Amino acid sequence: MIQPVIAIHGGAGAMSRAAMTPEKEQEYLSALDGILAAGQAVLAAGGSALDAVTEAVRLLEDCPLFNAGHGAVFTSAATHELDASIMDGATLRSGAIAGVDCVRNPVLAARKVMEESKHVFFVGEGAEAFAREHGLDIVDPSYFSTDARREQLLRVQRETPGAAVLDHDGQALVANSQPAPAEPLDADKKLGTVGAVAVDAQGNLAAATSTGGITNKQVGRVGDAPLIGAGCYASNRTCAVSTTGTGEMFIRMVAAYDVAAQMEYAGTPLVEAARRVVEDKLPAIGGKGGLIAVDAQGNVTLPFNTEGMYRGYARVGEPPVASIYR
């Protein structure tokens, strides 16, 4: 009998421990714990892995602490462009959307694409029209904005005009006159995506990923989050994976699928396959970030090559475990 388990992430990045209060760190850990508990409850009630990851990512999208849905980062034009994907490991069905700015929960739209469409991927106005047709919650684009994200955009534009924030190793982008960032991971140097993976009591796997993109990105840019195989992948034959990091590098490495391919074609165990991608292959091309993965036996791994990653897992019948730093 498989012990169902869910894992989630809320982005990887550089530490700002010196500027962070214990209260702020606890705020993030409490948010992760609560979302893990909600996904765990779905599995404990006999729900599917697909339902568990959908619920976890929906809650991550609704939480302004993370870069997806409400609290999404701004593009260079001070707009929002949201992306999401989901995959069912039992059937290999998948759905994705990209470049939307009025769908409250992009992960729900991605799931509707998977279940109600003969296609896999919708973008922009077509994705928004599809969401409307299927009765999803449509909001004004201002819903996604928060004061903290707007200040983040202005700070980046002031300090590094024209640059999208990707590099964790660069100089801090906060001017001397600005207070230091108060988040556990420096918001100006965080690669923000959210995601969830799970295995249910039937041994079925699922993965979902959602993002607001990267601060000050060029309008129209799409990263790895909505791309099946790059930012999201699930197959009952191997594993379920959701990634977070420098999206362009995860796309070039087909990072999520790479973990599954190593398992299927070389018999590599989950933990080692994920380690190779995160610690060996991605850094070779400058890729930073991490991933979460679970296999059909309930093994879980959450590797990252940055200083921290918002992450956690919860097995049915056990307390959730949430972490930020190494």
Identified catalytic residue from 54, 75, 193, 211 = 193
| 123 marked as binding residue | no
The CA angle 288-289-291, to the nearest 5 degrees, is 140
Q: For residue 227, give the nearest of 195, 273, 198 by alpha carbon.
A: 195
| 221 marked as binding residue | yes
Taking 3-state DSSP, the helix, strand and coil percentages for the chain, each rounded to the nearest 5, stand at 35, 25, 40
Report the Cα–Cα distance between both ends of the chain, in Å, rounded.
Answer: 31
CA separation, residue 24 to residues 28, 30, 177 (Å):
7, 10, 22
| 247 marked as binding residue | yes
| 160 marked as binding residue | no
Rounded distance, CA 168 to CA 191, Å?
A: 8
| 306 marked as binding residue | no
| 223 marked as binding residue | yes
Strand partners, 13: 190, 308
Q: Is 193 noted as a catalytic residue in this protein?
A: yes
| 229 marked as binding residue | no
Task: Please answer whether residues 311 and 302 qualify as being in contact, where contact means their C-beta atoms are separated by less than 8 angstroms.
Answer: yes
| 213 marked as binding residue | no
Annotated binding-site members for substrate: 221-224, 244-247
Annotated binding-site members: 221-224, 244-247
Q: Which residues belong to the active site?
A: 193
